[in-house]
């Protein structure tokens, strides 16, 4: 018999109270299922009122308990082809996307996460409540375990005022397999020259990396001339699931080059 207890907060204030008592937020539960808790308390976030998704000209605001399906459909309706919607629609299966939440995915950040790359590339921020309260860049939250301790993500905000060309690549042996890595490339063009760009890898050594040195080198380069090499990716990838790290690093460099050259791009 498991000793887990369940609580059902009905507001952010109630949730904040719950977090003081060894209570962990429960979003979709798909992460908990990999290692089912046997003690402590779980707070079901579905009644807290943090599952809405709002898209305006200036920003995308996603509630911490919004599911992949809810976020993807609201964003795609307002901004067809937006990279966050494309990445979310590509994740897992339709049934799992109806459960997996954005907040749970950022808190857990598995190596195959479909949401971290796009949000880091868009310089997204998130708001947490609990032992620490405030708004932080997503990249800081996922790199700093203390921010995740006894806190809950209530909202994620990404700027939507800039018109990026976007490229999303997810490498998985078959479509439904967990991806081994993801690549996000955002570019802004001035004719055929890249005036600005952002490049983010996930699943690599160090879990994620924004390739700022490469971005700086590429600004001002003509799009067809861009070439990113495996050496540009720093520590690269470890060996995973029958693929050598060298192969994965090479594949990621090709995916980034294709993204920068404008293959399969979309507007974000």
Partner 1 sequence: MNGTIIVNGAQIEIDFDPADTLLDVLRDNGHTEVKRGCSKGECGTCLVLLDDLLVNSCQVFAATALGKKVTTSSGLNGDGRPHVIHESFADAGAVQCGFCTPGMVMATHSLLTTTPDPTDEEIRLGLVGNLCRCTGYVKIFDAVKLACKRMRKDG
Q: Is 32 in the site for ligand FAD (CB under 6 A)?
A: yes
Q: Is 31 in the site for ligand FAD (CB under 6 A)?
A: yes
Q: Is 28 in the site for ligand FAD (CB under 6 A)?
A: yes
Distance between CA atoms of residues 61 and 41, nearest Å: 28
Q: Is 266 in the site for ligand FAD (CB under 6 A)?
A: no
Name 98's Cβ contacts closer than 8 Å, sequence gap at least 6: 67, 68, 69
State which of residues 178, 223, 243, 245 lies at the interface with ligand FAD (CB under 6 A). Answer: 178
Cβ atoms within 10 Å, residue 250? 16
What residue 1 binds from ligand FAD, partner 1, none (CB within 5 to 8 A, per partner kind)?
Answer: partner 1
3-state class (DSSP) for residue 22: coil
Q: Which is nearer to ligand FAD, 148 or 230 (CB)?
A: 148
Q: Which is nearer to partner 1, 120 or 180 (CB)?
A: 180
Q: Is 127 in the site for ligand FAD (CB under 6 A)?
A: no
Residues 94-123 that bind partner 1 (CB under 8 A): 94-96, 98-99
Q: Least distance (Å) from partner 1 to the CB of residue 63?
A: 17
**CB of 121 closer than 8 Å to CB of 184:** yes
Distance between CA atoms of residues 259 and 167, nearest Å: 5
Q: What is the residue whose two structure tokens read 């404008």?
A: 262
Q: Is 110 in the site for ligand FAD (CB under 6 A)?
A: yes
Residues 55-74 that bind ligand FAD (CB under 6 A): 64-65
Q: Are strands 125-130 and 165-171 parallel, antiparallel or unpaired?
A: unpaired
**CB of 152 closer than 8 Å to CB of 141:** no
Which span sits near ligand FAD by CB under 6 A: 9-17, 72-80, 92-100, 221-229?
92-100
Full DSSP string of 101-161 = BHHHHHHH--TT-SSHHHHHHTT-EEEEEESS-EEEEHHHHHH-HHHHTTEEEEEEEEE--
Q: Give exposure, 97-112, as e/b (b: 16+ Cβ within 10 Å).
A: bebbbbbbbbbbbbbb
Residues 36-95 that bind partner 1 (CB under 8 A): 36-38, 42, 44, 46, 69, 92-95
The footprint of partner 1 on this chain (CB under 8 A) covers a number of residues equal to 29
Q: Is 25 in the site for ligand FAD (CB under 6 A)?
A: yes
Interface positions with partner 1 (CB under 8 A) = 1-6, 26, 28-30, 32-34, 36-38, 42, 44, 46, 69, 92-96, 98-99, 175-176
Catalog residues that contact ligand FAD under the rule CB under 6 A: 24-32, 45, 64-65, 91-92, 96, 99-101, 103-105, 107-108, 110, 112-115, 152-153, 178-179
């Amino acid at each position: 018999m498991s000793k887990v207890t369940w609580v059902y907060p009905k507001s952010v204030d109630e949730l904040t109270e719950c977090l003081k008592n060894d209570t962990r937020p429960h979003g979709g539960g798909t992460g908990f299922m990999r290692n089912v808790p046997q003690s402590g308390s779980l707070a079901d976030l579905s009644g807290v009122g943090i599952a809405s998704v709002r898209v305006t000209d200036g920003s995308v605001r996603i509630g911490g308990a919004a599911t992949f399906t809810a976020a993807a459909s609201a964003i795609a309706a307002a901004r067809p082809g937006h990279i966050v919607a494309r990445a979310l629609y590509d994740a897992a299966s339709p049934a799992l996307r109806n459960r997996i939440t954005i907040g749970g995915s950022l808190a857990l950040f598995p190596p195959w996460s479909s949401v971290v790359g796009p949000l880091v590339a868009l310089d997204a921020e998130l708001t947490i409540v609990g032992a620490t309260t405030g708004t932080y860049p997503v990249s800081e939250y996922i790199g700093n375990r203390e921010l995740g301790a006894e806190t809950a993500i209530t909202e994620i905000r990404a700027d939507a005022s800039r018109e990026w060309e976007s490229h999303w690549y997810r490498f998985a042996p078959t479509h439904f397999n967990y991806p081994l890595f993801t690549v996000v490339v955002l570019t802004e063009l001035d004719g055929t020259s890249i005036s600005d760009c952002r490049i983010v890898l996930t699943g690599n050594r160090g879990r994620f990396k924004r390739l700022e040195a490469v971005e700086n080198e590429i600004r001002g380069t003509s799009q067809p001339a861009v070439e990113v090499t495996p050496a540009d990716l720093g520590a690269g990838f470890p060996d995973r699931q029958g693929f050598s790290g060298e192969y994965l690093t090479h594949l990621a460099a090709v995916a980034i080059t294709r993204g920068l050259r404008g293959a399969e791009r979309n507007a974000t």
